[in-house]
Amino acid sequence: MNFFKDYFETLSCGIQNMNIDMLDQAVNVIRSMKRAGGKVIIAGNGASAAIASHVSVDLTKNTGVKAINFNEADLITCFSNDYGYDKWVEKAIGFYADPKDLVILVSSSGASKNIINGARKAKKMGLKVITFSGFKPDNPLRKLGDINFWVDSRVYNMVEITHSAWLLAMVDRLSEN
């Protein structure tokens, strides 16, 4: 057994196990949102927050899509202190989202309460929601989006690398036009 050979074969299968039509659908939703004058709001916790930062910068810089994320320590700690950690993403979406915006939420487990509450808030506001999750196929986040990407793995790094690859592939596709 070769750890690295097995690891990268598993990762490669996970990345390639993608519904291409869903990727195209998500890209078209972003294009429509841009034409309508909206922005992308992307959020996650931990490594998913780092992915959100990377993708939001690349969307803005490489594709001209306005994108923001909620990774400022003062925002997270203030909203968590005032509203509770489970509600901070929901509150941030409530304060920062506009009617034409798109919300992308990333959670490896799909069970992070703050991300789930953010998805519910976005839906309540009538916003389009795209989710990225993993672990259990019936995770709560996966049930809340208009488009739901799911990685069939319970290994955090596998899920996170796959989310990053799919999201950045979307950025590269958007930058072609």
Take residue 139 and report the two structure tokens written for it.
């995770």
Convert the pLDDT of each residue in 12-65 to its tens digit.
998 988 899 999 999 999 999 999 999 999 999 999 999 999 999 999 999 999
Q: Band of the pLDDT at 177, cuts 50, 70, 90?
A: low
Take residue 16 and report the two structure tokens written for it.
């390639």
Sorted by where each starts, the structural domains of the chain and their CATH numbers stand as 3-176 (3.40.50.10490)
| pTM for this prediction | 0.97
Convert the pLDDT of each residue in 66-85 to its tens digit.
999 999 999 999 999 999 99
Whether residue 24 contacts residue 168, with contact meaning beta carbons closer than 8 Å, is answered with no
d(CA 115, CA 88): 9
Residue 168 has pLDDT above 90, yes or no: yes
Convert the pLDDT of each residue in 131-163 to its tens digit.
999 999 999 999 999 999 999 999 999 999 999
Tell me 143's DSSP state.
Answer: G
Tell me 146's DSSP state.
Answer: S
d(CA 21, CA 4): 31
**Portion of the chain with pLDDT greater than 70, in percent:** 99
Which of these, 9, 156, 174, 157, lies nearest to 104 by C-alpha position? 174
